[in-house]
Chain A
């Protein structure tokens, strides 16, 4: 445990000592703010028209019309930014030779992998924490329900965890950061759009593809529903990716 935390601590320190953390957090905040303002204007207009009987909605709900779509939009930001967080994790250590320090220290591979994953997760958490400011505005000027919001954040953390663990695995396969970043981005995107083809396939295939899509599982969380099947999906996705990473680090020793 201490060793895992030591690795996590080192990862976080590295992120914040380099521009990586500030660039990732800063620019994500700008994008998030942009999405927020757009949805806010949309919500504002909808609430003006509400109940007017001129084709507008009968009632408006800030959770349903603003927060839920906002969470879905955040997943777009994650698609682009999370590869930037994970691409260096292993690739950089291999290129600079610091991996030799880690692998010759009294640490297990699992401790190293989990430590790195936690480090990424904390940086991602810091990125999400910025969005609490926007939520603060909603609470200050409206009265949204906090429970669906909490569920939405849980969903985002779990989905981010999937992306991060997968990115970690891809980074462990190469010593080139750019390759790691590009492949991670491509795989993320693929997992995102994998169910686009679902409506053209048979019912079985459709279910499978929908189940595989990382973002499909976020829908319910964004709406405030915590469904155990989604929890199982995310947690097993993360566990499997981390397992693959451990195996990949181990096989690296054999390949040399």
Chain B
């Protein structure tokens, strides 16, 4: 469990993190999103005890990181932005050193080092010097380091940075596996990553939280209405009026025209599925129905919307700066226990 209460961190006159509050339940995977310089790394550094907060509190695994730093650190695994490797050490030596300083008892060190290497698939590089590893392997050795003492809480700063697509998929799978018995915060720039691996998202911009919610809720909340894309062969006749006449449809906007093919973006009231009526109307007129698919506001759009517009930040302060998730009912099952 991680709890962040009104966390503020200043560097001299600049405020990197400004009154940030959120909560991560045990076994939950939380995505930490934000543009560069938004304060993601700073927040993570405070949570891991690397630096103190200027104001506010951070509680990790039941321990306040400023009051009981050693207890909190014993229960935290941290992968910094650049994997903290010693270039002149071999992977095995490095991980053994990590096991030692993380307090893994001597008798268990060997098995734990092997287990961590196995889990992150770096076994084949065990006797290679860290300096000679590729970026992807460095990242994975860094991850092995974070898992070493089987911590309750994992804090991962861009865990998939520098990996190739296959490794990214493997790492995401690993993170999903780890969620459940670990509480995880991961920061990333890659938006599809959060919708795949995280149960909840915190979007942070200029040091402030602008949104906390599940990926689905964020999409629907900011989407407002449901939009469909439909492409038909209306052979020259104007289809707009026909489509607008269907009950439940609020707006029909022509999207593209290619010869006799015409595409439309059709908006309907929230929760009102008009696909059957649309298809029936098109076919009933003898037109060809070539494509019909839902259009949703993608995470990218939400992200841009929230982080570029100041108005967006002002729109949602009520739901966002709360410690608890706004709608716990929407959380997946495993998030509430474990």
**Interface residue ranges, A against B (CB under 8 Å):** 2-3, 6-7, 9-10, 13-14, 17-18, 96-108, 253-256
Contact = CB atoms under 8 A, between A and B. Distances in A.
Interface string B37-64: 0000010010011111000000000000
A1 B51 CA distance: 24
Contacts of A14: 86, 88-89
A254 to B, nearest CB: 7
Given A17-B88, A106-B73, A253-B51, A97 B82 contact: yes
B102 interface: yes
B93 A13 contact: yes
Interface of B: 9, 11, 42, 45, 48-52, 70-71, 73-74, 76, 78, 80-89, 93, 97-98, 100-103, 145
A108 B85 CA distance: 20
Given A6-B97, A13-B93, A256-B51, A104 B73 contact: yes
B2 to A, nearest CB: 15
Contacts of A253: 50-52
A100 B89 contact: no
Contact of A6 (B82, B86, B100): B100
Given A3-B101, A105-B73, A254 B49 contact: no
Considering the complex of A and B, which 7 residue pairs feature the smallest CB-CB distances, nearest first? A101-B84, A17-B88, A104-B48, A98-B84, A6-B100, A106-B73, A97-B82
A253 B98 CA distance: 21
B140 to A, nearest CB: 15
Dominant secondary structure of chain A at its interface with chain B? helix
A10 B89 CA distance: 9
B52 to A, nearest CB: 6
Contact of B85 (A7, A98, A256): A98
Given A104-B48, A105-B73, A10 B78 contact: no
B73 A18 contact: no
7 contacts: A6-B97, A6-B100, A14-B88, A97-B83, A98-B85, A100-B50, A101-B98
Nearest to A20: B88
Contacts of B145: 101
A99 B50 CA distance: 9
B88 A97 contact: no
A9 B89 CA distance: 12
B88 A18 contact: yes
Contact of A10 (B49, B76, B83, B97): B97
A167 B8 CA distance: 35
A2 B84 CA distance: 21
Given A98-B86, A101-B145, A106 B103 contact: yes
Given A106-B73, A256-B42, 4 more contacts: A2-B100, A101-B80, A104-B80, A106-B71
Contacts of A102: 101
B22 to A, nearest CB: 20
Nearest to A19: B88
